Chain A
Amino acid sequence: MSWHLTHDQLHQYAAHTADDVTAMSAEAHLMHCARCRDLLPADEAWLDRSWANLRDIVDRPRRGPLERLLSVLGLRENTAKLLAATPQLYRAWLTATVLVLATALTVAHELPRGSLLFSFTAPVVPLLGVALAYGRWVDPAHSLTSVTPLAGYRLLFLRTSAVLVPALTLCTAAAALMPSTSTLWEAVFWLLPALAMVAGCLSLSRWMPLSLAGGLLGAGWLLTVGVLGIAEELDPLLLFSPTAQSGWAAALTLLAGAILLRMRTV
């Protein structure tokens, strides 16, 4: 560059006091002259503000596909973030659930009385998901997050809903595809025991780790099914009889009430 703008020209131009022709001249020169551009007086405070605004858009934590999906579905940003950050065991549970339900469906279509497999696994699917969703044993970041203001019941319920929504959807879908399903009742017979056991698990978590509570209840369920299956003149399907269903409903109501009460007082 053969010439450069003078100090006065630069300052007049920057202060918006240059006449048209000087301004045009300065602009034509500045377009290609880095040296004069650097000498142009700059408003540092404005520059910092401007960068902060820009950075806020270009420099954000990367969002995973799940978090983006949840945002698209209309969840608030914070909620989407909390729901998307689930322990990897939860993902494993989701995969396992799909596999187990697919197997149960195949068995139900191929074998006589094969639909029993679905009947006795569906009620524990949500329970196991909840057990794997929260707590020191299953969540590697638990020690880091357990003493934050949002931890405790709020995070627990958020994670529980992250389990219940896919679990109930998948189980309902599977039930609808069962060969024997003809009425609405036959599609949701597993729902009350499943919910009652989840509520039981959440209630027990007051005294023991959530995963242990889930494990105990799950084992209890399988044991009961086994005992009823072996015993003469008893049928495991009794667990879904109208009498049993009203029992499950009562248990669910009581446990949910207890949980709500505890949330209020603690």
Chain B
Amino acid sequence: MTMDTTATGVSVRGLVRSYGTRRALAGIDLDLGPGVTGLLGRNGAGKTTLLRCLATDLEATGGEVRVLGRDPEQAADRTEIRRRMGYLPQSPSFYPHFTVFGLLDYVAVLKELGGRRERHDEVRRAMRRVDLYDRRHSRVRRLSGGMRQRLGLASALLGDPELLLLDEPTIGLDPEQRIRFRDLVSELAARSTVVLSTHQIEDVAALCRRVLCLDAGRVVFDGTPDELVSRARGRVWEQGSRPAEGVTSWRLADGRYRVLVPEGTENPDSTAGVPVEPSLEDAYLLFTGAGRKTR
């Protein structure tokens, strides 16, 4: 396989990242271009590790990574990637005694954004985009959880990056803010590559052109949300009787049971129920490893 070294997006071959003997990423191949890609997977599946590797925060243990056509292992390339990329870490934390404006200004200095005037203008733009402008002189410790999340997002947006890596960006946002966030991300995705990890099915349905399901450090699904749903077809059943032990199922409001049958297995109770049209949520549960009971 040849490396895609085009200047946009992300290209990964055989990416491995180990912590001691545990492999958080066990050989990932990826090519991501403009638009929004959703990373799905349950906790511990490797989403955060993958994003941190792409963000140059972690070095790969093995394999090749190209971000915006550059190699994160080379110092000059790494700095260049960092100039053109925005990263929102999972549950970011801040200096509590800083004001919103002061904190973003500090990050903007670290991002080498222009002279004072241009830098302040850029910070103002970022604060407006996430609706924090009116709170710009508030101290971080006085912000609510949703505001802190938006503050983190604003810091990722500084400098108008070509690549945005967002680790669970909608955590802590109320429904209205989530909608605004989706509008913002759709707007950004028109000219940049956005990769976000999430547990929110609504985000995926509303935003993602493409989804990647991770399980145990591997990509188990790569395609559009529609393809994810169609691959789950025939694997979602509804039946009147309680399903056998070891099968993922839940009770519905009408007293029937909805049953998920993982790939490579058969529904043990196939005579008791009927296959039904899967929802995106069913598909998400099936392909992120929830279909198997805990290992």
A and B touch in the complex (CB under 8 A): yes
Which B residue's beta carbon lies closest to that of A56? B117
Query: By the criterion of a CB under 8 Å from any partner CB, how many residues of chain B are at the interface?
Result: 36
Report the stretch among A117-125, A149-157, A240-248 that lies at the interface: A149-157
Which B residue's beta carbon lies closest to that of A142? B93
> Are B93 and A141 in contact, with the CB atoms below 8 A?
yes
> Are B95 and A82 in contact, with the CB atoms below 8 A?
no
Chain A positions 62-109 with a Cβ under 8 Å from a chain B Cβ: 62-63, 77-78, 81-82, 85, 87-88
A-B pairs with CB below 8 Å: how many? Answer: 82
> Are A61 and B105 in contact, with the CB atoms below 8 A?
yes
Instruction: Give Cα distance in the complex from A145 to B79, angstroms.
Output: 13
Residues of the A chain whose Cβ atoms lie less than 8 Å from the Cβ of B85: 147
Interface presence of B56 (CB below 8 A): yes
Interface presence of B137 (CB below 8 A): yes
> Are A149 and B93 in contact, with the CB atoms below 8 A?
no
> Are A148 and B94 in contact, with the CB atoms below 8 A?
no
Interface presence of A144 (CB below 8 A): yes
Interface residues of B (CB under 8 A from A): 55-57, 75, 79, 82-83, 85, 87, 89, 92-99, 101-103, 105-107, 109-112, 116-117, 120-121, 136-137, 152, 155
> Are B111 and A150 in contact, with the CB atoms below 8 A?
yes
> Are B137 and A62 in contact, with the CB atoms below 8 A?
yes
Residues of the B chain whose Cβ atoms lie less than 8 Å from the Cβ of A56: 117, 120
Residues of the B chain whose Cβ atoms lie less than 8 Å from the Cβ of A85: 95, 98, 106
> A81-B105, A141-B93 known; A147 and B120 CB under 8 Å?
no
| Pairs across A and B, CB under 8 Å, 6 listed | A81-B106, A140-B93, A147-B82, A148-B112, A149-B110, A150-B109
Instruction: Give Cα distance in the complex from A188 to B59, angstroms.
Output: 41
Interface presence of A60 (CB below 8 A): yes
Chain A positions 134-192 with a Cβ under 8 Å from a chain B Cβ: 140-141, 143-151, 155
> Are A145 and B120 in contact, with the CB atoms below 8 A?
no
Interface residues of A (CB under 8 A from B): 52, 56, 59-63, 77-78, 81-82, 85, 87-88, 140-141, 143-151, 155, 265-266
Instruction: Give Cα distance in the complex from A85 to B109, angstroms.
Output: 11
> Are B110 and A145 in contact, with the CB atoms below 8 A?
yes
> Are A148 and B110 in contact, with the CB atoms below 8 A?
yes
> Are B110 and A82 in contact, with the CB atoms below 8 A?
yes
> Are A149 and B112 in contact, with the CB atoms below 8 A?
yes
Instruction: Give Cα distance in the complex from A82 to B85, angstroms.
Output: 21
Which B residue's beta carbon lies closest to that of A143? B89
> Are A141 and B105 in contact, with the CB atoms below 8 A?
no
Residues of the A chain whose Cβ atoms lie less than 8 Å from the Cβ of B155: 144
Residues of the A chain whose Cβ atoms lie less than 8 Å from the Cβ of B137: 62
> Are B92 and A143 in contact, with the CB atoms below 8 A?
yes
> Are B57 and A146 in contact, with the CB atoms below 8 A?
yes
Residues of the B chain whose Cβ atoms lie less than 8 Å from the Cβ of A265: 75
User: A131: shortest Cβ distance to chain B, in Å?
Assistant: 19
> Are A62 and B95 in contact, with the CB atoms below 8 A?
no
> A77-B116, A85-B98, A150-B112 known; A145 and B107 CB under 8 Å?
yes
Residues of the B chain whose Cβ atoms lie less than 8 Å from the Cβ of A149: 79, 82-83, 110-112
Question: Which of A52, A141, A148, A151 is the one whose CB lies under 8 Å from B95?
Answer: A141
Residues of the A chain whose Cβ atoms lie less than 8 Å from the Cβ of B101: 60-62
Residues of the A chain whose Cβ atoms lie less than 8 Å from the Cβ of B97: 88
User: B199: shortest Cβ distance to chain A, in Å?
Assistant: 20
Instruction: Give Cα distance in the complex from A60 to B101, angstroms.
Output: 8
Q: Most chain-B CB neighbours within 10 Å: which of A62, A63, A145, A149? A: A149
Residues of the B chain whose Cβ atoms lie less than 8 Å from the Cβ of A60: 101, 120
Question: Which of B83, B107, B117, B136 is the one whose CB lies under 8 Å from A144?
Answer: B107
Residues of the A chain whose Cβ atoms lie less than 8 Å from the Cβ of B83: 149
Query: Knowing that A61-B101, A85-B106, A147-B56 are A-B contacts, what are 6 other residue pairs whose CB atoms are under 8 Å apart, sorted by A's residue number?
Result: A59-B120, A85-B98, A143-B57, A148-B110, A148-B111, A155-B110
> Are B93 and A143 in contact, with the CB atoms below 8 A?
yes
> Are A266 and B111 in contact, with the CB atoms below 8 A?
no
Instruction: Give Cα distance in the complex from A220 to B196, angstroms.
Output: 44
Which A residue's beta carbon lies closest to that of B156? A144
Residues of the A chain whose Cβ atoms lie less than 8 Å from the Cβ of B121: 52
Residues of the A chain whose Cβ atoms lie less than 8 Å from the Cβ of B109: 78, 81-82, 150
> A141-B93, A144-B89, A147-B82 known; A61 and B111 CB under 8 Å?
no
